Amino acid sequence: MGKVIVMTSGKGGVGKTTTSAAFSAGLASRGHKTVVIDFDVGLRNLDLIMGCERRVVFDFVHVINGDARLNQALIRDKRLEHLYILPTSQTRDKDALTREGVERVLTELREQFEYIICDSPAGIERGALMALYFADEAIIVTNPEVSSVRDSDRILGVLQSRSRRAEEGLDPVREHLLLSRYDPERVERGEMMKVDDVLEILAIPLLGVIPESRSVLKASNVGTPVILDPQSAAGDAYRDAVGRFLGESLPFRFMRPERRGLFQRFLRRSA
């Protein structure tokens, strides 16, 4: 029976889709059969980040409406044999996702996959509520910045009151904090909140700290999850986070500024 994991944040632009792509690729590369679903109806983008935008024929909404079978809509990743993508629709119909429809698709996916990653849209509207409703675990993607932390707090409140687990009085959704776009140099200068500051405010367990990294944009340019870039610090940090999610205890890296010389600085910039 597969586990449903929602990537959520409240605020937009913090790295939910980047994280969904990285996490699903990370789980699949360790041999876990994984599917990643785009819940952002009308603003499809996971396909671009995963590099499968030209292979989309049927989507999530087609499956919900019975216009396609699930296996017709699932796109098999060309790099990782255990990874599948379920793209969303570009429809402008806000009510395209019904609770019954989403439940039916997730139930079917739970039988085939170990992990089902739900890439939530920003906000706390229908799409975001649908993405988190059936979750067993939630990864809260947060930037060390006031509006992102506030919105994360809000989405935690929603998880604790409006998820299926909350409504049915089951064990609560397991929450994990993933702090992204972390810049240790700015933290050291007192210009950015520390990991501990954010942890103190949100009070949920820390899954990973992803350093601000140029490689994230470069990976999205070419449609490769950043976790597949062996040169990238962000990729390393995501690999660690996936390991922790699977129960490994790994030390946190990339939380202090790198001491590097002029020559190294030049090398990194041109890398």
Partner 1 sequence: MNILSFLRPKSTLPTAEQAKERLKIVLAHERSYASAPDYLPRLQNEILQVIARYVELEQDKLTVKLENFGSTSRLEVNIDLPKTAASVAVSPANQADRTSDDEATAADDPATDARAVS
Using the rule CB under 8 A, is 178 a contact of partner 1? Answer: no
- Known binder of ligand: residue 13? yes
Using the rule CB under 8 A, is 192 a contact of partner 1? Answer: yes
Given 199, 201, 206, 255, the residue binding partner 1 (CB under 8 A): 201
Contact by Cβ (8 Å): 87, 47:
yes
Q: Which is nearer to partner 1, 59 or 151 (CB)?
A: 151
- Known binder of ligand: residue 34? no
Interface characters, 152-171, with partner 1 (x: CB under 8 A): -xx--x---x----------
**Could you count the other beta carbons within 10 Å of the beta carbon of residue 117?**
27
**Could you count the other beta carbons within 10 Å of the beta carbon of residue 143?**
24
Given 150, 174, 218, 244, the residue binding partner 1 (CB under 8 A): 150
User: What residues pair up with 38 in beta bridges, in sequence order?
Assistant: 119
**Distance in angstroms (rounded) separating the CA atoms of residues 99 and 26:** 29
Q: Give the 3-state DSSP-derived string for 14-82, with helices as H, strands as E and coil as C.
A: CCHHHHHHHHHHHHHHCCCCEEEEECCCCCCCHHHHHCCHHHCCCCHHHHHHCCCCHHHHCEECCCCCC
Given 53, 114, 145, 183, the residue binding partner 1 (CB under 8 A): 145
Nearest approach in angstroms of CB 13 to partner 1 is: 18
Using the rule CB under 8 A, is 183 a contact of partner 1? Answer: no
Using the rule CB under 8 A, is 149 a contact of partner 1? Answer: yes
**CA count, 13 A, side-chain hemisphere, 72:** 11
User: What residues pair up with 121 in beta bridges, in sequence order?
Assistant: none
Contact by Cβ (8 Å): 158, 188:
no
Stretch that binds partner 1, among 45-53, 95-103, 186-194, 214-222 (CB under 8 A): 186-194
Using the rule CB under 8 A, is 6 a contact of partner 1? Answer: no
Q: Which residues are annotated as a binding site?
A: 11-18
For the annotated binding site for ATP, the residues are 11-18
Residues that bind partner 1 (CB under 8 A): 145-146, 149-150, 153-154, 157, 161, 187, 189-194, 197, 200-201
